[in-house]
Amino acid sequence: MSDFEDTIARDQRIEPGDAMPDGYRSTMIRQIAQHAHSEIIGMQPEGEWITRAPSLRRKAILLAKVQDEAGHGLYLYSAAETLGADRGDLTRRLIEGRQKYSSIFNYPTLTFADVGVIGWLVDGAAICNQVPLCRSSYGPYGRAMIRICKEESFHQRQGFELLMTMMGGTPGQRAMVQDAVNRWWWPSLMMFGPPDDQSPNSARSMAWKIKRHSNDELRQRYVDMSVPQAEALGVTLPDDELRWNADRGHYDFGTPDWAELTRVISGDGPCNAARIERRRRADEDGAWVREAAAAHARKREKVVA
């Protein structure tokens, strides 16, 4: 048994510099990079509402949240770099469409209620996915996830509180919340990935203890968590098949439109092109600042020497 297999079998962590199979390294880089890209692209849907937040309090909260997303992206790029990946190269792969990010960020934020629903449902699904990743076999990834999960809890709670406030408002505001829930519920369920029997890489990731639970297990857990929250909020989840199953001890629920997930992942969602275009522009517009800072640092180094 190799040191790598032994470490995994004893449920210990793989650390940077350890010998590891090429497949483990490339899977880890791909997963961490996709996760980092999701955080960075994830700044956009909510970022659009910063200038239009209805109060200074909501604006400050939203700014802090979007800044956290940037931070999460950077923790993750840092983890990817411990495997020999290069941050600039990963960004280029994202912009050129050679690496993916979570399909959820390709949906538009039409009203301010979407900000609340993203916090509640989208960040709720992210927490469900990410809590088990804190025990992922790659040390730097697990440690980044611990930091991220702590902060996601603020994200989810601010979203739920925002929605509770709107639900206590006018009939128009309540309708806005219900409309946002109707649009985000199914894409949130898709965040857990395709069904287990159509998820080709899952078995290997489970064997390597990168993943700890299957897509369908986590999806079920998320549905079970969300139903009582929806009741507390006074909204209806848009699924006719959603009902408690006493035999299973879980909620039964309908089947997401997997064709839609495939379409959005492959680039044909409502906002894919706009998201990537904005990221590309930000990278290009920032290039001269990065170059100027580097030139300034070189000059000062010379003066000291």
Please report, as ranges, the residues that interact with other proteins according to CB under 8 A.
15, 17-19, 64, 67-68, 71, 74-75, 78-79, 81-82, 86-88, 140, 143-144, 151, 287, 290-291, 293-294, 296-297, 300-301
Residue among 292, 280, 284, 294 at smallest CA distance from 40: 280
Nearer Cβ to other proteins (257/291): 291
Nearer Cβ to other proteins (148/167): 148
Q: How far is the CB of 143 from other proteins (least distance, A)?
A: 8
Nearer Cβ to other proteins (154/186): 154
Nearer Cβ to other proteins (60/287): 287
Residue 150 in tokens: 């702590």
155 in Cβ contact with 119 (< 8 Å): yes
Q: What is the dihedral of CA 123, 124, 130, 135, to 10 degrees?
A: 140
222 in Cβ contact with 242 (< 8 Å): no
18 in Cβ contact with 4 (< 8 Å): yes
Q: How far is the CB of 97 from other proteins (least distance, A)?
A: 21
**Amino acid identity, position 280:** R
Q: How far is the CB of 232 from other proteins (least distance, A)?
A: 27
Nearer Cβ to other proteins (39/114): 39
Alpha helices in 191-271 (DSSP H): 202-207, 215-233, 258-263
CB atoms within 10 A of CB 134: 17
Q: Which residue has the tokens 């180094």?
A: 301
Nearer Cβ to other proteins (89/277): 89
Measured CA to CA, the distance from residue 97 to residue 93 in angstroms comes to 6
The phi-psi region of residue 193 (left if phi > 0; otherwise alpha if psi is between -120 and 50; otherwise beta) is left
Q: Which residue has the tokens 């940077």?
A: 16
Q: How far is the CB of 140 from other proteins (least distance, A)?
A: 8
Measured CA to CA, the distance from residue 195 to residue 254 in angstroms comes to 13
Nearer Cβ to other proteins (15/217): 15
